[in-house]
Amino acid sequence: MIGQKQLIRHFYENPPAFEKQTVHVSGWVRTVRDSRTFGFIELHDGSCFQNVQIVFGDQLGNFREITKLTIGSSLNVTGTLVPTPDAKQPFEIQASDIDIVSPASQENPIQKKRHSFEFLRTIAHLRPRTNTFNAVFRVRSILAYAIHKFFNERGFVYVHTPIITSVDAEGAGEMFQVTTLDPDKIKPPADYARELLGRKTFLTVSGQLPVEAFCMGFRNVYTFGPTFRAENSNTPRHASEFWMIEPEIAFADLEDDMKLAEDMMKFIFTHVLENAPDEMQFFDRFIEPGVIERLEKVIRSDFAAVTYTEAVGLLEKAGKDFEYPAAWGENLQTEHERYLSEEVFQKPVFVIDYPETIKAFYMYLNEDGKTVRAMDLLVPGVGEIIGGSQREDRFDLLLERMKKDGMSETVYDWYVDVRRFGSFPHAGFGLGFERALMYITGMKNIRDVIPYPRTPNQAAF
RNA sequence: UCCGGAGUAGCUCAAUGGUAGAGCGGGUGGCUGUUAACCACUAGGCUGGGGGUUCGAGUCCCUCCUCCGGAGCCA
């Protein structure tokens, strides 16, 4: 029986091939509606976003049991696929046999009604059974593939940089400590030489530094993996564990970097629109009206770009009553970024050439001596989605900058080596995978695009 | 972490300091083409925890916890 099953996806891909045919499907009940002598089941089989309607009549021996099926119950169904040109759905299956594999408890918290995302987060293990999360996580999978496809087609080498690292903070944020020492048993100060790994270690906040070294051997490389930040951030766009894509390109400057970022964004948007049409239509209808058109517009048009200095000028003469007025040398506030991306440009916009004082030590110093070749990509609704830079490849300047920031040369000696033994201009960026997913789906909270989100106070499941 | 808001039935929410309610979901029954199905009946509550004021607290006060939104950190 199991070997003969067909997938609902195949019916939708080519309905005529199955019309009037006997089909076997297996799946889970989404809803049941019944009358005295017949009824309907919406069956979901996981192979695609869409369900298939099963029609059942009282000629079936287990008709009564079928009418009492609860949401989530699993079934094997045999029947005839018939077109239904006058109905909502293009076809349905008229059942000749329905085998109840396992009824679901009537206490199933997933009900035949709208649930709030907040509630569904508390049952993250049951969320995948809902329309929204089915769509979100299929698109997540498709998006991950699109990213690999983009880089693979361009000859990039995928590098697995370490999850556990001893490189303490490079400015990216607070780190989770990883230890084999039992905190309940050790007396301070801890003897980190007794760690299994022989030193104090953390979960990575970025794969950038280690991947830069691989750039030297493979020219164009990227990482794509989990990243951890121990910040006590409580916002819809921050998580303690998230995934990041970090390409690094050799013999390249900031303009090449921006071009790569723009090409990549357009590629992945296109790929998702082409490969998840049903899911995207769902988002467009129920999550964020207009999201498809927004993505299509972005694919057709060029991203905007302004220097930080120009951006501050725009903000100063905006005539807007910002809570914090923009000032050169200060970080752009979220309200500033929103104004730029949502009101001035109304599309993705690069802000480049930030003051050296507010950016990381490894960024290339401009000739003005005040700004660095950094870029942030801001998108409407999500904010900063990419942060990147051309790297400081001049040995002396890098050392000088590290000294100024009070950084340990011994911890970073291997990083400095990359410049010492044949330096070259290179650049890269970090794309927040979940932020890209939010932008594509219109989902408003990062907790709702991560299967089991980790945020302050939340590590269940 | 700071600021603001919210915790009441399985879910979403009502309820002048005076007997705790509705819709949906669940259960039972009805209905010959439903698709947010419909109609009738029905069960369901330590009002987030602790303390206080009061004859009386879901409601007022203190405190803690949790969640949501805004800010910061950033992707």
Tokens of A132: 């929204």
Mean pLDDT, all residues of chain A = 93
**Amino acid found at A170:** E
Nucleotide nearest residue A205, measured CA to C1': B75
CA of A113 to C1' of B16 (A): 34
- Predicted local confidence at residue A174, as pLDDT: 87
As a whole number of angstroms, the distance between CA A108 and CA A230 comes to 34
Are A388 and A362 in contact, with CB atoms under 8 Å apart?
no
Averaged pLDDT, A411-434: 92
The alpha carbon of A214 is separated from its chain's Cα centroid by a whole number of angstroms, namely 25
What's the predicted TM-score (pTM) here? 0.94
CA of A415 to C1' of B46 (A): 61
Q: Say if residue A449's pLDDT is above 80.
A: yes
Are A56 and A64 in contact, with CB atoms under 8 Å apart?
no
Q: Say if residue A172's pLDDT is above 70.
A: no
For A72, phi then psi, to 5°, come to 95, -15
Q: Say if residue A413's pLDDT is above 60.
A: yes
Are A322 and A335 in contact, with CB atoms under 8 Å apart?
yes
On the question of a cis peptide bond just before residue A325, with omega within 30 degrees of 0, the verdict is no
Q: Say if residue A169's pLDDT is above 70.
A: no
Nucleotide nearest residue A120, measured CA to C1': B11
The alpha carbon of A350 is separated from its chain's Cα centroid by a whole number of angstroms, namely 20
Residues 6+ apart with CB under 8 A from A61: none
As a whole number of angstroms, the distance between CA A171 and CA A360 comes to 6
Strand partners, A303: none
CA of A76 to C1' of B43 (A): 33
Averaged pLDDT, A364-389: 95
- Predicted local confidence at residue A396, as pLDDT: 93
- Predicted local confidence at residue A407, as pLDDT: 82
Are A97 and A78 in contact, with CB atoms under 8 Å apart?
yes
pLDDT tens string A182-205 = 888 888 888 999 999 999 999 999
Averaged pLDDT, A47-64: 94
CA of A112 to C1' of B13 (A): 18
As a whole number of angstroms, the distance between CA A222 and CA A245 comes to 7
- Predicted local confidence at residue A105, as pLDDT: 86
pLDDT tens string A191-246 = 999 999 999 999 999 999 999 999 999 999 999 999 999 999 999 999 999 999 99
Are A36 and A52 in contact, with CB atoms under 8 Å apart?
no
Q: Say if residue A113's pLDDT is above 90.
A: no
pLDDT band at A98 (very low <50, low <70, confident <90, very high): very high
CA of A130 to C1' of B11 (A): 14
Q: Walk across the sheet containing A426-432 and list its strands.
A: A157-158, A220-228, A241-250, A426-432, A383-390, A371-379, A349-355, A304-307
Nucleotides of B under 7 A from a protein CB: 1-2, 10-13, 24-28, 30-37, 66-75
| Residue count of chain A | 461
- Predicted local confidence at residue A170, as pLDDT: 61
Nucleotide nearest residue A335, measured CA to C1': B71
Q: Say if residue A72's pLDDT is above 80.
A: yes
ipTM for the whole complex: 0.92
Q: Say if residue A2's pLDDT is above 70.
A: no
Averaged pLDDT, A131-160: 97
Q: Please give the share of chain A, as a percent, with pLDDT higher than 70.
A: 98
Averaged pLDDT, A89-108: 92
Q: How many CA atoms lie within 13 A of A17 on its CB side?
A: 8
- Predicted local confidence at residue A129, as pLDDT: 94
Q: Say if residue A9's pLDDT is above 80.
A: yes
Averaged pLDDT, A133-140: 97
pLDDT band at A299 (very low <50, low <70, confident <90, very high): very high
Q: Say if residue A100's pLDDT is above 90.
A: yes
CA of A366 to C1' of B11 (A): 57
As a whole number of angstroms, the distance between CA A10 and CA A56 comes to 22
- Predicted local confidence at residue A203, as pLDDT: 95
pLDDT band at A312 (very low <50, low <70, confident <90, very high): very high
Q: Say if residue A341's pLDDT is above 60.
A: yes
- Predicted local confidence at residue A137, as pLDDT: 97
Nucleotide nearest residue A51, measured CA to C1': B35
As a whole number of angstroms, the distance between CA A286 and CA A268 comes to 22
